[in-house]
Structure 1
Amino acid sequence: MDRSTQIRAMASEPRMRILQLLAAPKKHFGQQWSADPAEFGVCMTLIAEALSVSQPTVSRHLELLRQAGFITVRKHAKWSYCKRDEAAISGYLDWLNQEISAEVASGQD
């Protein structure tokens, strides 16, 4: 996995907010009628509405999160649904923790 893409994805308040919202999809997107938000994912349109941004803006944020591996995108009919990839997020956080810990342990300046 490209760590620089993951770091860039996490270095944005809107993208962090998207990941926070997708952590509890039924709570934040329970009104989604087209598919179960927890099992199938959340429609991009609803994510744009939750962030109060345009569809093209949310699409750019979601694409970077997808490239980083933090979300999966599933197309169904004319909609695209996004879901967190918990294993990828956990792997990134483990890597980050190791990097920070290694730096602290070896950096005695």
Structure 2
Amino acid sequence: MSDTDLFRALGNERRLQNLRWSRDPVAQFLPQRIGDLVEDGVCGQFIADKLGVNAPTRSEHLPVLQASRLVTAKRIRQRTFHRHDDEKLASIASIVETI
């Protein structure tokens, strides 16, 4: 993925909000019955509920974040859990410094 694609992924308020929440999922989301908020990430449905969007809209945004490697996805049973990637987010600062 190019730097341009990375910044396009960040160029959407819902995706940015998702990244903000995922930095501290314990503070932003209720505990989950399946999956640990920190280790596994947040269930995609919980993210959609908090954003106030339906499943198709969620399915638009989360794959963009995954493709840009800003979040990782993990399947547990029939659910997908999303967790932000600290290293990739930190690399954004170094990209901006080169501009």
- Return the TM-score normalized by structure 2: 0.94
Please state if 1:31 is matched with 2:14.
no
Please state if 1:92 is matched with 2:67.
no
Q: Is the 8 A contact 1:5 1:64 kept in 2?
A: no
Q: How does 1:27-106 map to 2 (within 5 A)?
A: 27-99=27-99
Alignment-mate amino acid for residue 28 of structure 1: Q
Report how many aligned residue pairs link the two structures. 99
- Residue in structure 2 matched with residue 103 of structure 1 by the alignment: none
Give deviations 1:63-105, integer Å, cap 9, x for gaps: 0011111000011110000000010111122211321xxxxxx
Distance 2:58 2:10 in 1: 15
Q: Which runs of 5+ in 1 are unaligned?
A: 100-109
Give deviations 1:28-69, integer Å, cap 9, x for gaps: 123322111011111000000010001111121110011111
Distance 2:55 2:90 in 1: 28
CA RMSD of aligned residues (A): 1.0
Distance 2:15 2:32 in 1: 20
Stretches of 4+ aligned residues off by more than 4 angstroms: none
Q: What SS does the aligned partner of 1:74 have?
A: strand
Q: Is the 8 A contact 2:35 2:76 kept in 1?
A: no
Q: Percent identity over the alignment? A: 26
Q: Which runs of 5+ in 2 are unaligned?
A: none
Alignment-mate amino acid for residue 74 of structure 1: K
Whose radius of gyration is greater, 1 or 2? 1
